[in-house]
Amino acid sequence: MFRSTLALFLLCILCPAEVWPTYRHDNRRSGVSPSSLQLPLTEAWVHNGGPPEQAWTGPAKWDAYSSNEGLQSMRNFDPCYFTTAAYNLIYYGSSSDNALHCLDASTGEEQWQHFTNSSVRFPPTLVGEQAWFGSDDGYIYCADALTGKTLWKKQAAPSDRLIPSNGKLISPWPVRTGITVENGRAFFAASLLPWKTSYLWCIDTKTAERAYLTEHQGVTLQGAILAGGDRLYIPQGRAAPITLNQNDGKKTGTIGQAGGTFCLLTEDNQLIAGPPNQKERDEQLRIADPKSGKRLTTFNNTTRVVVTEGKAYLHSIGNLQCLDLTRKAQLETLLSSQRAALKKLDPKVETNLAQIEILKKKISTHQAQIKSCLLWTITHPTPFELVVAGTQLIVGLDNQVSILDIKTGKPLWQHKVTGKAYGLTPAEGRLIVSTDLGYIHTFHKKP
Amino acid sequence: MKQLLLILILSPIAHAGLLGSWILNKKNFTDQKLNPAGEAQGAPEFDTDGNLVFSSKQHVLLPEESAKKLPLQNFAIEARVRIDQAQKWGSILSYSQDNGSYERGWILGYNGSRFSFRLSTGGRLLEVAAPESFEPGEWNHLFATYDGKKMGLYLNGRLVSSRIVTGPIVLPDIPTPFVIGAYKDNDEFFPINGRIESIQFHDSLPTLKDLASIAKEFAVVPFSVRPAVRFLAPGKALLFWEASHPGKAIIGYGTTRKLGSIVESSSEDLRHEVILDNLQSHTRYSYRISANTENGEKFSPLYEFDTSMNYMPAPTPDSDHPLAKTYLQDLPDQPGFAVIIGLTDGSLTKAIASQSQLNVTAFDDDLAKVNALRKELTDSGIHGSRITILYLPNLKNIPLTSCVGNLVCTERGTPPCSSSELSRLTRPKGRTVLPDKTLNTRPPIPGSGEWTHQYGPPSNTTYSNERLGGAQAVDELELQWIGRPGANFGIDRQPRMSAPLATNGRMYHQGLNRLMALDAYNGQILWDMEIPDLRRVNVPHDSANWCADDSKLYVAVKDLLWVLDGATGKRISTLKLTSSHRETHEWGFIAQEGDNIIGSSVRLGAEFKKYFGDAWYDKVGRESDTANVLSDNIFGYSKSNWKGNWTYSRGLIINPTISLSKGKLCFLETRNTDLQKSTSGRESTKNHWNQIHAVCLDATTGKILWQKPFPKTLLRTEEKGFIQVSYGSMTSEGFLVTLSEGDTQETGKHNGKGIFSYHYFDLANGDLRFQSQTPWRTNHHGSHITHPVVYEDRVYTDPTGISLPDGKPLDHKYGPKTKCSATVGTAYGLLYRGIDVSLTFWSKTSKKQSHWPRLRPSCWLSVLPAQGLFLAPEGGGGCSCGGWMETSLAFIPKNNSGIKDSTPPKE
């Protein structure tokens, strides 16, 4: 179960409509908001933040030796200005002008800017009336969410040192994980170079004092930290995400079945992440059991998924579809055990034959049942992002955003945007869409 | 479903040499005459031109018996085809089985988007493939040839790939389909999508006249100087070329291969420069040039450029300040970093950005002032991109690594930090404005080296006298900068392309038909250019396609040498091959020293271009992987007037042996006159290693200073063995030839033994001082083709080397190296791919290794110690397994960085 922090809880209680207080809504990075939007929406305003300055370039065109074309980016964690939203305000961090921006949600007017010394790659996490965010300058900042006034800043890096990077200056220990607030504690990492020590911080959200600081070798911690159960999950891009104990920050392992910076935790704390590596010819997301690190399910030919109430919404080879994930996982577990049992039975032993026949029938039945887990499918272009708002599935596309009925896939609404819609924030009755060209489109119910 | 059976006609044989001629059009299907027949396997559909449509599962089966009657060598297959969709295992005509290790027969087709010809002489199917992709939907002419010694593939009348193969083709000994328009064997079926107008099977190879006629028919726009695209500003690029005939030219370009936008060149003479504006960012564009020629209107091939590589700075609003012009005076007009310590009102900061291409970073200790300026600049859309204002409470010590600023100054009357701090932040040859407003230029870092050629200096020592501040271990270096170019810049890690270069504070790096200049000290991209015809690979068996001096970059592109301004990338001049070779050769070797430019001519098609699939070029003993590119001549130009001084032409010069030092030019050449007549310009050592001579010329006059027959090799003999690679290097005293020799059994199969052999000629008179050897460490992953690192007192190959001048094997090893990469030297150590297959530093003093985890070099030479730095531009991209960093970096010796050791963060 999702356990929000007290602060986040209070924020939700205090605000009449559903807020979006952190990257992808919550610490599972679920992308699921319980409240539906009132349709049809109309465009309220557009803000142009200038093109994002991404931390990394795109991937190689191909692995020529392996004749493997169309390699996937595994470090594309900052393709647009993702937003958070509350108090009728919208927040985004800019990788371009190094500031945290606050916009009036109704008008798009800039309310305040809070500058840092380098790129801000994730939106702030809203903790009560505070906005917490990290920067490539190696610091984390806490600003008054309503006024932008600096409340404090804390150095996450071990030194002030700055180095050139893509025309900017960054710390060799930038904060590229965002800030994850869970159970009254904030988690963030200062990390970049695998040959230097990386630092995971845990601080008290009330006092901003350190709860612990752990050192990690051989890692590049980048991408939003996830929290679920008693664990933290930190993506690394081209290397497998690491898991840590929330209580003491000690590393508990790596999830070899995962990779990339698109990660989310399901409602029962299974990690969906991808792509697992660049080598796969098909784009893949995998579900891994965080405890064992084993792969549970693979979604082929997809880069984005959203899961709510046991159902997964994803795209594969021209189709957008809804899967009964809970049922599918149960059946696959059954199938797996039945196949293992079948393998153990020697068909040359006559006494095994009846049992083999029974197992084969069961396998056949379960295979058919797995097919029935596909609840609906529609022809649909490949999305860059999927989120859920109540009974609506919101889809970010190339120069378009659309909303579908979550139960049927039936189109409900769509609108043009400028660029690829990587960031979707349904909050406070609005839909905020962030694109790779630096635009933030906001749609609301017609007054 | 009822299958409509139609007979495909074997058309009348036009002459005795024609063994088959299949014309796949509606008329031939309808007439149903002659035999042997073919049978369409689906209901035939014809397009408006009458050509059989190959789509879905359509293919044509021919009688298997007719395939068995075809010759197994000395034949050519000719086809006119239009492929509409790239795919794996595309086949135009095939008679083959490919079942696990059982590979037999032959296939003319394509693999992915490259035409290919494959055949088996009993082992695996061997392939020659076009280096460039075909354009879907466009007609092409193919000739696949095999004479029992060499297989070749001609595309539109020009040889695009060849390899040495011996013996007759071995056909399948199980029933096998003989097929047009699909690959089909026992367990595989891959139909194609496109058209095949005709296929002809000849019992002889095409003549030069045949090929010339086809080349004329398929001619594209002839260029005097081929096109290139240089980025000018965000959204803006310059497309430039020189036509071979005056006249109008039109450019079609767009984000898809259908193009869409059209622009006409304003020039009607030979030189064309067309600005393409309003280009989308991060977008791959295709373009094609059409022009009237003596053969009518012709089109160029479809070329590409990628605006993801456009890192040019955006202009800022006009702004003036009385000091800006003075501070910028005489600084190169190129991007870079300006560092301003202490603000007044920001006007100087804005003026410097406005009047230069510099990226301006200003530090100030007044937060209110900083934020006000930040807000103003953000509102103008330039904060963080062209001007960045940083808040720093203590301006006495700037926490910035040293040697970063092209310009370092203050806005204030008195700088808030010491002049030594200002100087520390200034890069070598950069400008410091001292407290008394005098302009100071920082001298080069003491002990820094220039990496101007493939292997450092033109003497090919793989060592540029770089001292790297005495560093001998990873923790003695600090990161100087990190960032672009990334993995999307390059071809791939595998094909052993030309090394980056670094001189005069700039680093040059080559990618996928593109090159880029960066500021070595801050990573700022100075300019980048997309040149469709740039690519050259397998440098260990050839020579690099570029070199540099302080001010210029010299790049071989097809038959010309482009002389580019190092600061801006603008083309200053183009140099031609010697007159007799201009139609038949390409520019091969390139080096410069003093006033001399040295070039060579290699035959068209001799250079290696392949990078897709197996293109490591180091398979031990494989004949094609011992092949060197050979030059027909070598010549000298003068830099002072761009005029040719001399030409030397005696034998076939082995490109990787050419080295130049202090006015002397040394190389090996084969004087086998038979080979000179018959060579394609690329020959295995088995073919070319006889009548070898070591030659030394005066590099200014071309006069022979000495020439000596090469002594017997130490492992390879006339009867057996092979030479995997041959390298030439020079010390102050000698010309060192390093060979990698492998032994074979009598069957010709490699027996596992191999050595590096060293042959040292006295530079004064050519006398052989010594021959010696050291054993290979291993015979794969590039170890056995290691280029030597040559110091005055010793030579390293892998895992050890010899001492100089006596040639005795060293008493120690370095490494171990792991996987592919080259080794490069500093005064105190060697750098290579070692621990955890990552970049590794070995100390000459301690003999110990240290490494940077997850940093991967390319499979050849992609990192260099030079300019007082260790430069590691991205070279590992494409390696899809492993958690590589996929980024470019530079390291500075800690003792030059001005950085103290960091300690864990404090509360």
With a cut of 60, say whether residue A148 has pLDDT above it. yes
The top-scoring range by mean pLDDT among A333-342, B161-170, B179-188, B345-354 is B345-354
Cβ distance A115 to B880 less than 8 Å, yes or no, reads no
Looking at residue B906, its pLDDT comes to 64
Looking at residue A400, its pLDDT comes to 98
Mean pLDDT of B357-376: 97
Cβ distance A57 to B482 less than 8 Å, yes or no, reads no
Residue of A71, A96, A97 to mutate, interface with B, max B Cβ within 10 Å: A97
Domains delineated in chain A: 6-318+380-445 (2.130.10.10)
Mean pLDDT of B56-69: 91
Q: From the list B361, B384, B494, which residue is nearest A65 (CB)?
A: B494
Q: What is the mean pLDDT of chain A?
A: 92
Looking at residue B481, its pLDDT comes to 98
Q: Which residue has the higher pLDDT, B14 or A185?
A: A185
Q: From the list A51, A67, A278, which residue is nearest B281 (CB)?
A: A51
Q: Which two tokens stand for residue B480?
A: 């100087």
Mean pLDDT of B376-380: 95
Placement of tokens 């996450």 in the chain: A156
Looking at residue A434, its pLDDT comes to 98
CA distance A336 to chain B (A): 28
Q: Does domain B7-217 have CATH number 2.60.120.200?
A: yes
Looking at residue B217, its pLDDT comes to 85
Residue of B886, B892, B894, B900 to mutate, interface with A, max A Cβ within 10 Å: B886
pLDDT band at B10 (very low <50, low <70, confident <90, very high): very low
Looking at residue B9, its pLDDT comes to 40
The CATH superfamily of B337-441 is Vaccinia Virus protein VP39 (3.40.50.150)
CA distance B115 to chain A (A): 15
The CATH superfamily of B223-309 is Immunoglobulins (2.60.40.10)
Count of A–B CB contacts within 8 Å?
A: 203
Mean pLDDT of B743-748: 90
* Domain positions in chain B: 7-217, 223-309, 337-441
Q: Is B749 on the interface with A (CB under 8 A)?
A: no
Looking at residue B17, its pLDDT comes to 79
CA distance A216 to chain B (A): 11
pLDDT band at B907 (very low <50, low <70, confident <90, very high): low
Looking at residue A4, its pLDDT comes to 40
With a cut of 80, say whether residue A8 has pLDDT above it. no
Q: How many CB atoms lie within 10 A of CB A336?
A: 11
User: Which run of H or of E encompasses B326?
Assistant: helix B324-328
Q: From the list B88, B479, B494, which residue is nearest A163 (CB)?
A: B479
Cβ distance B361 to A190 less than 8 Å, yes or no, reads no
Q: What's the distance, CA B265 to chain centroid?
A: 30
The top-scoring range by mean pLDDT among B40-44, B227-231, B611-615 is B227-231
Beta carbons within 8 Å of B335's beta carbon, 6+ residues apart:
B312, B313, B357, B358, B359, B519, B524, B525, B526, B527
Looking at residue A11, its pLDDT comes to 52
With a cut of 80, say whether residue B311 has pLDDT above it. yes
pLDDT band at B851 (very low <50, low <70, confident <90, very high): very high
For B537-567, the pLDDT digits (tens) are 999 999 999 999 999 999 999 999 999 999 9
For B46-58, the pLDDT digits (tens) are 888 888 999 888 9
With a cut of 60, say whether residue B8 has pLDDT above it. no
Looking at residue B34, its pLDDT comes to 37
Peptide linkage before A275 cis (omega within 30 of 0): yes
Listed in order, strand segments (DSSP E) in B394-520 are: 405-409, 426-433, 439-441, 477-483, 501-503, 506-510, 514-519
CA distance A238 to chain B (A): 5
Residues 119-178 of B with CB under 8 A from A: none
What are the residues facing A402 on neighbouring strands? Answer: A395, A414
Percent of the residues in chain A that have a pLDDT greater than 70, as a whole number: 95
Q: Which residues of A touch B304 (CB under 8 A)?
A: none
Mean pLDDT of A81-91: 98
Looking at residue B155, its pLDDT comes to 95
With a cut of 90, say whether residue B508 has pLDDT above it. yes
pLDDT band at B5 (very low <50, low <70, confident <90, very high): very low
Cβ atoms of B63 and B178 within 8 Å: the answer is yes
CA distance A204 to chain B (A): 13
pLDDT band at B3 (very low <50, low <70, confident <90, very high): very low
Q: Which residue has the higher pLDDT, B326 or B15?
A: B326
pLDDT band at A2 (very low <50, low <70, confident <90, very high): very low
**Nearest chain A residue to B877, by CA:** A60
Cβ distance B853 to A218 less than 8 Å, yes or no, reads yes
